[in-house]
Chains A and B, each alone.
Chain A
């Protein structure tokens, strides 16, 4: 036994060498450049890491299941010697002097870092459309499954066909995993930024419990809600990556000190002892009838297998997004204050005073979304507003967290909800609404888990009528990732989500890119 990715078995058995795998992935990245999933491809260092891995395998001494496995990291994690931009002009050219703890842990396991993935600027957004390097495209836009279902435009230039968004803000990471250019990717999740793109790109997106994984080196957005997120093509893979990342980090005092033991997921066969809660407030306005039907079908799946499925209530759900809005902007106002042009990043040209330098730097470095949140946050933190907005939001936060506590105390093990309101929309439609409106709409089903610090996972469930992925979300109890992932794995096995049929992937596949799956849930 032993924890393994499917690709790890291939590496260990010598069916493919780490350098071959790395080269295939790099070639695939090049041929899928139109997805704009990567901001930086670290070709040289990746090949070097792959060579070192080759040697370890030849000596029969791989570091673990992740040795030689190509991974990608969202560009808001610090990576030593590699540019970290957060998709912002503010950090263009910034070369990290250190590795984020999670990056270091992956490298220590022998993982091969292919590059940094694209995102919404400073992780603010739900579409991966608002970064300075342009929007990320959902790989499913180019899948046979989507093309078969979409009405072709009369003059449709090959790659310019109406592509759909990957979701955000970790859209680049989700797209990278979905298009098979890497086997696992790191994202971040503050309001749903890992689960949302996971749902739209048909991959597994895990948001761990707050405090389980170190945030050291992750450029902070909301200190009390941020977590590193894990994106993979299977639940087993997510468990494996979680095992190498979780645990106390002395460099992040918000990580809990409990001993974390990596675990292998059992193959659950009997769900009769499980109690699944269906929160009625997650039947949110705007939820597509398709997803509603899928959610219902999933609940029936558990019921038919003998689990107890009951409707529960989280009465403060609809205030979660408002609460988030206030707390997020307030923390953002504080966290973005470090960008002043003096120590790193972009520097304005003003020399009259430090204040005018800071103002010019920030004027030039931040996009509208970031500036908007900073200004709103500062408003809510004004002395005359502090009690009425910031403290009020903190109180509402407690009510939201208590809602979950009550439900879990009543005997419910896990909650089953939709992840998104609909399948991915085409880019021109998405940008019709502004960033905050979009985030408000899109985060509604994912946000509360961040508020309460609970673990949550998106499991790709089925394809929509348009041929695009739809996922469902499981929310678990604090630090009960093993239970959460065990049930998620059982569900994944039942639904048999189809592989993406992408021309480019077929060309570069060694037979290790994708898991063998057939049939489908819908």
Chain B
């Protein structure tokens, strides 16, 4: 059961990484195939496990400000900034559709 081009395209949109080449797609196919083995296990009546520490209470500290004021430090690692802002290109513009963008999936 092969993954369709639509799903592959959808994944590239969600993950914002590309498959790059047929090897990348093969890799995903193999990963899915490998995961199929899970269906051999009978999990009727079994609750999913989120954390091995599920029987304990998560630690919550007091909602007091104890540190911060490190704007300068944090901005040091950003490539593009203006005053105290990280600079980003315009948002709310989706990636071009499959036919219009440079992706290996075009020839898939």
Residues of A near any B CB (own CB < 8 A):
94-95, 97, 210-211, 224, 248, 250, 253-257, 316, 319, 322-323, 325-326, 329, 333, 340-345, 347, 350-359, 362-363, 366, 368, 371-372, 374-376, 378-380, 382, 388-389, 391-399, 401, 434, 436, 440, 452-453, 478
Contact = CB atoms under 8 A, between A and B. Distances in A.
Contacts of A95: 76-77
A392 B39 contact: yes
Given A326-B38, A343-B77, A399 B95 contact: no
Contact of A329 (B31, B47, B91, B94): B31
A133 B100 CA distance: 35
A478 B53 CA distance: 10
B39 to A, nearest CB: 7
Contacts of A368: 20, 23-24, 27
Interface of B: 3, 7, 10-12, 14-20, 23-24, 27-28, 30-32, 34-35, 37-41, 43, 46-53, 56, 58-61, 70, 73-74, 76-80, 86-91, 93-95
A340 to B, nearest CB: 8
Most buried by B among A257, A355, A356: A355
A344 B76 CA distance: 8
B52 A353 contact: no
B17 A371 contact: yes
B41 A224 contact: no
Contacts of B11: 375, 378-379, 382
A398 B20 CA distance: 36
B49 A398 contact: yes
Contact of B28 (A210, A379, A452, A478): A379
Nearest to A93: B77
B38 A393 contact: yes
Contacts of A329: 31
Nearest to B10: A382
B49 A371 contact: no
Contacts of B39: 388, 392
Given A374-B15, A378-B15, A379-B32, A353 B91 contact: yes
Contacts of B48: 391, 394-395, 397-398
A401 B61 contact: no
Contacts of B41: 316, 319, 392, 395-396, 399
Contacts of A398: 46-49
Given A347-B80, A395-B43, A376 B51 contact: no
B78 A326 contact: no
A327 B11 CA distance: 17
B28 A342 contact: no
Given A353-B93, A362-B16, A391-B48, 20 more contacts: A253-B59, A256-B53, A319-B40, A319-B41, A325-B31, A326-B35, A326-B38, A347-B80, A352-B90, A353-B91, A355-B95, A357-B88, A359-B18, A363-B18, A366-B17, A371-B19, A379-B3, A382-B11, A395-B46, A436-B31
Nearest to B27: A372
A355 B94 contact: yes
Contacts of B43: 392, 395-396, 399
A382 B6 CA distance: 13
B96 to A, nearest CB: 8
Contacts of B56: 211, 256-257
Contacts of B60: 253
A323 B20 contact: no
Nearest to A370: B17
Contacts of A343: 74, 77-78, 86
A287 B24 CA distance: 30
B28 A376 contact: yes
Nearest to A390: B48
A236 B9 CA distance: 53
A415 B43 CA distance: 26
A241 B74 CA distance: 30
A353 B30 contact: no
Contact of A396 (B23, B30, B38): B38
B64 to A, nearest CB: 11
Contact of B53 (A254, A325, A354, A358): A254
Contacts of A371: 17-20, 24
Nearest to B23: A368
B14 A354 contact: no
A341 B59 CA distance: 32
A373 to B, nearest CB: 8
Contact of A322 (B18, B35, B89): B35
A97 B30 contact: no
Contacts of B93: 352-356
A376 B15 CA distance: 10
Contacts of A256: 53, 56
Contacts of A250: 59, 61
A68 to B, nearest CB: 29
Contacts of B47: 395, 398
Given A362-B17, A378-B11, A398-B47, A322 B38 contact: yes
A372 B28 contact: yes
A94 B77 contact: yes
Contacts of B31: 325, 329, 372, 376, 379, 436
Nearest first, the 8 closest Cβ-Cβ pairs linking A and B are: A453-B52, A394-B48, A353-B93, A344-B77, A395-B43, A398-B49, A376-B31, A347-B79
A380 B77 CA distance: 33
Given A248-B59, A342-B86, A378-B11, A401 B73 contact: no
Contacts of B86: 342-343
Given A371-B17, A372-B27, A440-B34, A224 B51 contact: yes
